[in-house]
Chain A
Amino acid sequence: MNRLLLLGLNHTSAPLAVREKLAFNTQQARAATDQFRERFPEAELVLLSTCNRVEFYTSRPVHSHPRVEELIEFIGQFHTAGAEQFEPHLYTKTDKDVVDHLFNVVSSLDSMVLGETQILGQVRDAYDAACAAQSTGAMLNPLFQRALAVGKQVMRDTALCEGRVSVASVAVDYARRIFDHFQDKTVLSIGAGKMATLALTGFAALSPGKLLICNRDADKAGRLAERFNAEPVPFDNLSDHLVAADIVISSTGSAKPIITRDAFARIVARRRYRPMFLIDIALPRDIESGVGDIENVYLYNLDDLQQVVATTQNERAGATTAAKEIVAQQLQEFVLWHRQRAMGPMIDRLYKRYQDIAAQEVARTVKKLGPLDEQEKSHLEELARRLVNKLLHDPIQTLRQSDAMHGPAAQYLHAMEQLFKLNAPDGEDEDDLGQDPTA
């Protein structure tokens, strides 16, 4: 019997500075998962790290590891960060609350931008990476499979994604507040990933005078430049490109800022203090926040833009309600399915064990009583069976009626396993646990 534990932080609990410190890129996530498996071999893990959240979804046997404090220590060690820096921003959830949270996350109900579809892909990527690292098992496999199905259903059956305002469109709107016309402006994209592509789509529509793509990987820059009819430029001359640029979109995967305040102050002076719009959509951030304090420089990071997007979406409450209803219904179904899956075999084993004991005792008694006819024998067997049934009725009913997926029910099941020595032989049940039959 496993228990679910979630430890994480998101845009509501932690500022960008903390989130970027704890963020995991693909390689780091893989390394962290491997280290986790080494340290907690009994536990399962899916590590979800996006711009807005870092979450550890774990499943562990009851009374086993990792516990919350061990997870905090693990994260701190991995990022060589003191727990005091991020612990106040963490939230923990267990069992049914984890399922509820994950369903909300994957439906974008927990996102800064309601209705954004990117999160579905990010959860899928995180789950696939965990599967590849073999860190998922009987608990997390069905949970994530169901969660992805829920996310798809919400996107398909509700209006949550319709007419949404994107980060790119908000950035373009702000650019229009700074610049009057774009024919004589230069847009520079530092980075050539997905985020850069999304942002460039918006800015290319403004028909800027020049569109520059600057990336460490020149081939990647070339491919993106071809798509937007832009000019790929070498990363080594970044300072010169910054002097020429009026709008800068930065979205590299760099672990440290690539544009510092001091260096940028010199660039601003070189460009004679012409207004400049900087959009930092990278996590960790590419541009030091102090750059935004320089005169005539307007710096917006992901949080700034997403906050604006979020505040413009209040009118979509109807779609949110519909999405929440789907999540609530799916949560109930999953809990029910999971409870039946967990309890059924155990109750069967319990009855079987005690009916066997009763049958053995009846046989012994029959032997002691001497010759009995079939009807008397049948009465005795019936007596024993009814006794067993009545004795087990109350505990089983209590177990069935326990509300939470793993709350009291999990504790009762674990207690029953221990008290009645119902542990399944190794390997039993494992074959079909990995699949959620309703997903």
Chain B
Amino acid sequence: MPDFVVGLSLPLGFVDPAPIGQPTSIQFALLILAAVLVACGVICSLARLKWDENDRLRVASKVLMAAGGAMALVVLIWHSTTRGSWLPVGDNFDALIWLACLLGLFLFYIQGRKPLTGLDWFVGPIIVLLLVGSVLFGAREYRPYGHNAWQWVHRVSAYGGAVAFAIAAAGGAMYVIVSRRLRQKGPPGKSLGSLERLEHLNVVSVTLGFALLTIALITGIVQWSSTKQAPPLAKLLLALLAWAVYAIVLHAPINPRFRGRRAATLSICGFLLMIGVLIAVQFVGGSGR
């Protein structure tokens, strides 16, 4: 996440990173390969819609996605080595790969604990987009981030929140589809998980994401307020809007009218706003208006 502020470094023991290097073409190539592997894994998973009983497809999907994730991790490690800093989320290239890897880990955790058929179909494409985005932005808009403690906390919490919101959006989309299928009263077809579980996934993810986004907003505002620069309006407004949307989602226990399909739809809207924030960061950086 680009820094709002130059300066305001808290004495948290972080050291200034070594000079950051542009990612190499081999790193880009590996990352593209990782994106292709994950995309193939998603396609194999989707093919199970047609060939439900095919266990090979299931295994192939898992292997391909794991290989893609491993490849992305290799690039991340390599890039950190060449950059000379192991501190994550040090530039926009590294940040998007971290985001993709975190999403992948979250996905493997959920699928390993209690599989939720169809989660791959929604989270997988987001991972692919993030990997492709890191290639594009790394090549054309590569920007190292500042490394004081406020900035680091701001970025980590913002990206962590985005991961949680991506999962919430995937769960929300699945909730809307399952709910719609139930209302249409057609044959049950392939299960995408129960509404109860999807709602639980949505609420947990939004709660986690909301907390992280709140931290990101506070740290961002603190950084901005300590500078004389103009606020990054576009980013700030989108982030505040997303925060408000998720606040409504979390409002459901108080006003239960917002639970279920409405909360799921709001989660999707919130994630779209978060994507807007990420894009704003890539294009306009911390000082974008």
Please report A residues at the B interface, Cβ cutoff 8 Å. 170, 173-174, 176-181, 272-275, 292, 295-296, 298, 300, 304, 307-308, 311-312
Contact = CB atoms under 8 A, between A and B. Distances in A.
Given A273-B256, A275-B195, A312-B187, A180 B182 contact: no
Interface of B: 178, 181-183, 185-188, 191, 193-197, 199-200, 256-257, 259-262
Contacts of A170: 188
A206 to B, nearest CB: 12
B182 A178 contact: yes
A180 B196 contact: yes
A311 B259 contact: no
A178 B188 contact: no
Contacts of B257: 273, 295
In the A-B complex, the 3 residue pairs with the smallest Cβ-Cβ separation, listed nearest first, are A272-B256, A180-B197, A273-B256
Given A273-B257, A273-B259, A296-B259, A178 B187 contact: no
A312 B182 CA distance: 16
Contact of A273 (B183, B196, B260): B260
Contacts of A176: 191, 194
30 contacts: A173-B188, A174-B182, A174-B188, A176-B191, A177-B178, A177-B191, A178-B182, A178-B194, A178-B196, A179-B196, A180-B196, A180-B197, A180-B200, A272-B256, A272-B259, A273-B256, A273-B259, A274-B256, A275-B195, A292-B183, A295-B257, A295-B260, A296-B259, A296-B260, A298-B182, A298-B183, A307-B185, A308-B187, A308-B188, A312-B187
A308 B256 CA distance: 31
Contacts of A180: 193-194, 196-197, 200
B194 to A, nearest CB: 4
A295 B196 contact: no
Given A273-B259, A275-B260, A177 B194 contact: yes
Nearest to B257: A273
A300 B185 contact: yes
Nearest to B189: A177
Contacts of B193: 180
A272 B258 CA distance: 10
A298 B179 CA distance: 9
Nearest to A304: B185
A303 to B, nearest CB: 9
Contacts of B181: 177
Contacts of A292: 183
Contacts of A300: 185
A14 to B, nearest CB: 18
Nearest to B188: A173
A293 to B, nearest CB: 9
Contacts of A304: 185
B18 to A, nearest CB: 49
A311 B185 CA distance: 12
A185 to B, nearest CB: 9
Given A180-B200, A273-B257, A295 B262 contact: yes
Nearest to B185: A304
B195 to A, nearest CB: 5
A296 B182 CA distance: 11
A179 B193 CA distance: 9
Given A273-B260, A295-B257, A177 B187 contact: no
A217 B181 CA distance: 37
A296 B178 CA distance: 12
Nearest to A296: B260
Given A178-B194, A273-B260, A296-B259, 9 more contacts: A174-B188, A180-B197, A272-B259, A273-B259, A292-B183, A295-B261, A298-B182, A311-B187, A312-B187
Give the one of B181, B256, B262 with max A CB within 10 A.
B256
A194 B75 CA distance: 65
Contact of B196 (A173, A275, A307): A275
A43 to B, nearest CB: 41
A308 B194 contact: no
A298 B257 CA distance: 16
Contacts of A273: 256-257, 259-260
A178 B191 CA distance: 11
A8 B224 CA distance: 78
Q: Chain B CB within 10 Å — which of A177, A180, A274, A304 has the most?
A: A177
Given A272-B256, A273-B259, A273-B260, A179 B183 contact: no
A178 B175 CA distance: 10
A177 B256 contact: no
A267 to B, nearest CB: 13
B226 to A, nearest CB: 44
Contacts of B197: 180
A125 to B, nearest CB: 30
A308 B260 contact: no
A300 B186 CA distance: 11
Nearest to B197: A180
Contacts of A173: 188
Contacts of A307: 185
Nearest to B199: A275
Nearest to B181: A177
Contacts of B182: 174, 177-178, 298
Nearest to A301: B185
Given A272-B256, A273-B259, A295-B262, A308 B196 contact: no
A274 B186 CA distance: 23
A295 B200 CA distance: 17
Contacts of B191: 176-177
B209 to A, nearest CB: 21
A292 B179 CA distance: 12
Nearest to A174: B188
Contacts of B194: 176-180
A178 B195 CA distance: 5
A376 B37 CA distance: 111
A176 B186 CA distance: 15
B229 to A, nearest CB: 46
Contacts of B195: 177-179, 275
Contacts of B259: 272-274, 296
Contacts of B186: 308
A109 B96 CA distance: 60
B278 to A, nearest CB: 32
A178 B261 CA distance: 12
B184 to A, nearest CB: 10
